[in-house]
Each structure stands twice: as C-alpha cells, then as structure tokens.
Structure 1
Amino acid sequence: MRLIGNIIWILLGGLVIALGWVLVGLVLCLSVVGIPLGIQAFKMAGLTLAPFGRRVVYGGGLGSTFLNIVWIVLGGWWLALAYLLAGLINMVTIIGIPFGLQSLKMARLAIMPFGSSIY
C-alpha cells in the first residue's frame, strides 16, 4: 500500500508541493538567519514527496519550543491550516481517507517542525 499510495500522491500533486517546499528552503537558506528555517522546509519537502509509510517523531527541548513559536508566528499556522483543510476535503470520500490522514500528519509537522524527526 505504501508504494501505491506514494505513487498516487505524487501524481495528484505531491511532487509539485514538494518542489515548492524545496524552492522555499533554497530561498530561506540564502541568509544565515534563514538557514534553520530552510532546513525545516527541506524536512517538509521530504515528507510531502512520499508520506505513506513514514512517521514523524516529536522531541526537542526548550530551544525547539522557542523556534517552533517563531515558526508559528512567521506563518507556520497558515501552512498547518492549509494542510488541515486539504486533509478534511480528502476525507469526504472513502478513497480519500488515507490521503487525508497523510495531510493531517503534515499539518502537525507544519505547525511544529523543530525538534521533530522523520523515519
């Protein structure tokens, strides 16, 4: 199911969204201050490209919490809201439920990317 789900995901827009994340990451990495944010954008690109069969483990400490707050203020909540809406729209049909669940996984990562790892 992982392979089929990831292929369908890529064909229905996952590749385009992942390339968008890569572009955002490259732009953010142009400045020294933006490099930590760019690394998180690359993390989102990796998960957005192939979300099926991958899991996100949240951790970190006080530094990660502080950076997540900065991320949320700078626009992370918009990203999470977009993924949340996409997930809810996908869950309208039975076939879309697995894709909606992946969008919800990415919504949580979009709101708190610092201190998280993708396996």
Structure 2
Amino acid sequence: MRTVGNILWLVLAGLWLAIGYVLAGIVCFILIITIPFGIASFRMARYALWPYGRSVVRRPTSGAMSAIGNVIWFVLFGWWLALEHVLAGLLLCLTIIGIPFGIACFKMAGLALFPLGKQIVPTSELQAAGAQDAVVSFG
C-alpha cells in the first residue's frame, strides 16, 4: 500500500515539491556559506519525492545552533517552501482522492519551515523502537 501511496504522491505533488527543494539546495550551494542548508534541502527533496514509509523525528542531540539555523532557513527558504506545500495541499484538497495527499502537504509545510534538528528515519525503525515522537509520519 505504501508503494501505491508513494507513486500517487509522486505524480500528484511529490515531483513539484522536490523540484522546489532542489532549487533551494542549488542556491544554497552557490552561496557557499549556506552549504549545510543545501544538504538539508536535498535531504528534504528526497523525502518529498517518496515520503510514505518514513517519519521525521527530532534529533535529540541538536542544540542551539539548529535553532539559529532554523531562523536563517525560515528567512531565506522556509517560508516559500512552506507556501509551496500549502498551495499544493489546497489544490490536492479540491478532489476527493487528493484530500489525504493535501493533508500530507499541510503536515510537510511545518517541516519545511523549520527542518534543522530533525532526521528522517524509516517508520519501521520508529515502530520497532516503540517511539511515538514523530514530527511528521506517513505510515
């Protein structure tokens, strides 16, 4: 079922969302000082392409630097990537089949605002550990 969800997601929204993250990552690499943001952006692009079966959890070792980085990310890239998720979510919610994917877009919008200090893990690892602290989870 995850594969079907991922294929539908890829066709309906994933490809366009991933392109936004890749463009942000390229800009980050061009600016050189923001290369760590570029790495995070490419990681998010991969997640935006194929989210079902993976979850986003807070990284317990992240500290004040990730909070400062999130503020910089928000100003430079986060707000327009979150806007991209919200617009895609609204468009997806126009159809009955797209509503679950629209809700997924809204969940990812919050992640797009502040991605630093979080990590993407397979949902099976999260379930095996018995953890319920997922920030964003797609089955």
TM-score bracket, shorter-length normalisation: 0.7 to 0.9
1:16: Cα distance to partner?
A: 4.1
Q: Are the aligned partners of 1:21 and 1:45 in contact in 2 as well (CA < 8 Å)?
A: yes
* 1:111 counterpart residue number: 113
The two structures have a TM-score, normalised by structure 1, of: 0.84
Q: Write the deviation string for residues 27-75 of structure 1: whole angstroms up to 9, x where unpaired.
A: 4224431211101211210111112222111242211111101111113
* 1:51 counterpart residue number: 51
1:12: Cα distance to partner?
A: 2.8
Seen in structure 2, the aligned counterparts of structure 1 residues 75 and 16 have a Cα distance that, compared at 3 Å, is closer
Name stretches of at least 5 consecutive residues in structure 2 with no aligned partner: 122-139
Name stretches of at least 5 consecutive residues in structure 1 with no aligned partner: none
* 2:8 counterpart residue number: 8
1:13: Cα distance to partner?
A: 4.3
The two structures have a TM-score, normalised by structure 2, of: 0.73
Quick check: which one's strand share is greater?
Answer: 2
Percent sequence identity over aligned pairs: 50
The total of aligned residue pairs comes to 119
* 2:129 counterpart residue number: none
Distance, in Å, in 2 between the alignment partners of 1:82 and 1:26 is 17
